[in-house]
Amino acid sequence: MSLLTPPELTATAADTADVAEVSESLIVLDRTHAELNNPGEDVIAGLGRSPKTLPAQYFYDDRGSELFEQICQLPEYYPTRTEAWILQHYAAEIAQVTNSHELIELGSGSSTKTRLLLDAYRDTLGRCHYLPVDVSGGILGSTVNHLQVQYPEFSIQGLWGTYDQALAYLGTTQAPSRMISFLGSSIGNFNAIECDRFLQKVAAALTPNDWFLLGIDLQKETSLLEAAYNDRQGVTAAFNLNMLSHLNWRFQGNCNPDWFVHRARYNTVDGQIEMYLDCQRACDITFKTLDFQVSFAEGEAMLTEISRKFQLTQLEQQLNRQGLKTVQCWTDPQSWFGLVLCQTQ
């Protein structure tokens, strides 16, 4: 069976009613692999809060994934190239220490940096089973297609769904050692409570021989941070606004993105970048398929993303509380980004 091509994969897995193997290489995870996931209930909950919020996963439809790839290339956006630098220098060591036969990557996107790890596993073990997980089906499908050509000796299967769905689906592995990776500091999109819940689920998916590799963005000067999320070309602004277009097509909404403006600031008290969409005019927005209407006041700010910036010691304590002990950490010469390798304790 051939893999679906990206244009057919415009929806996210949350739309699908059943687990389905759409090809030998792509599995669609279903809602039973999550705690409770009626499509859009998270949107309704977020828009009911004050300030209004939207879950970060709605950044990613095909267009959102494409814009994120552009963000990764921006001169101001240091996280991608810094994490890539760490992987270029230490992927071989990671492969040797972990010796894992199965790599599960949560929020894999284009898996660009992961290729450094895959190369290292190929050199160390010869082969490996790679399971990229992403909610954005288009980029997942095309990435799996490309990787199968590039790594013919690997078995590669995409899991199209959310982190929660994937962690619930995984079960125990047959491989002697498994590594779960979560790169790009996506963990920073969770608040402290969500982060604890997520780490608990990761810990539950690991046996004592398994590993968790976590990429984290470290605290640094406000000017560097704010520049990274307010780039001069306006790509981050387009990425932020695309969330509204995504919600419109997904839930038959009538929100005009032109009524909103992107803003990002560093909250020094909470140590996090906060991305907002500021509403420029009072309006009522309806999402037909959710049977839901919401009113915005002129000047009202909606929080679309937090991106927490970590201190290594604090993060290690948080990992510890969830039963994960740090085995090794790698960073870049400026200590801008960290890769933390953990095991269950």
- Are the C-beta atoms of 286 and 253 separated by less than 8 Å? yes
Judged by CB under 6 A, which of 25, 53, 108, 344 binds ligand SAM? Answer: 108
**Residue from the set 25, 37, 142, 162 that interacts with ligand SAM by CB under 6 A:** 162
Q: How far apart are alpha carbons 277 and 279 in whole angstroms?
A: 6
Only one residue has tokens 């125990």, namely: 172
30, 62, 102, 134: which one binds ligand SAM (CB under 6 A):
134
Instruction: Give the Å distances, CA to CA, from 229 to 185, 190, 238.
Output: 14, 17, 11
Cα–Cα dist 73/193, whole Å: 31
Residues 215-234 that bind ligand SAM (CB under 6 A): none
Residues 52-71 close enough to bind ligand SAM by CB under 6 A: 56-57, 60, 65, 68
Residue range at the interface with ligand SAM (CB under 6 A); choices 19-27, 104-112, 248-256, 258-266: 104-112
Please state the closest distance from residue 62 (CB atom) to ligand SAM, in A: 10
Closest residue to ligand SAM, judged by C-beta, is 184
The alpha-carbon radius of gyration of the chain (Å, integer) is 20
Residue closer to ligand SAM by CB (options 217, 300) is 217
CA dist., res. 60 & res. 58, Å (int): 5
Q: Is 37 a residue that touches ligand SAM (CB under 6 A)? A: no
Using the minimum distance from each CB to ligand SAM, give the nearer residue, 82 or 186: 186
Amino acid (one-letter) located at 183? L
Tokens encoding 225: 């941070």
Binding-site member from 107, 137, 141, 188 for ligand SAM (CB under 6 A):
107
In whole angstroms, how close is the CB of 187 to ligand SAM at the nearest point?
A: 10
Closer to ligand SAM by CB, 61 or 300: give it: 61
**Omega prior to 79 cis, within 30 of 0:** no
Q: How far is the CB of 165 from ligand SAM (least distance, A)?
A: 8
Task: Pick the closest to residue 329 from 318, 342, 317, 319 (CA basis).
Answer: 342
Query: Is 303 exposed, middle or buried, given 0-12, 13-18 or 19+ CB atoms closer than 10 A?
Result: middle
Which position among 16, 142, 186, 331 is part of the footprint of ligand SAM (CB under 6 A)?
Answer: 186
Nearer to ligand SAM, 189 or 300 (CB): 189
Both structure tokens of 333: 């010469």
**What tokens appear for 155 in the block?**
């078995």
Output phi, psi for 199, to 5 deg. -65, -35
User: Which secondary-structure segment (H or E) carries 241?
Assistant: helix 235-251
185, 337 Cβ separation under 8 angstroms: yes
State which residue, 65 or 272, has the beta carbon closest to ligand SAM: 65
Q: Which is nearer to ligand SAM, 52 or 113 (CB)?
A: 113
Binding residues for ligand SAM, rule CB under 6 A, total: 20
* Residue found under tokens 């008290």: 269
Q: Least Å distance between CB 334 and ligand SAM?
A: 19
Residue carrying the six token digits 């420029």: 280
Nearer to ligand SAM, 56 or 290 (CB): 56
Residues that bind ligand SAM (CB under 6 A): 56-57, 60, 65, 68, 72, 80, 107-109, 113, 133-136, 162-163, 183-184, 186
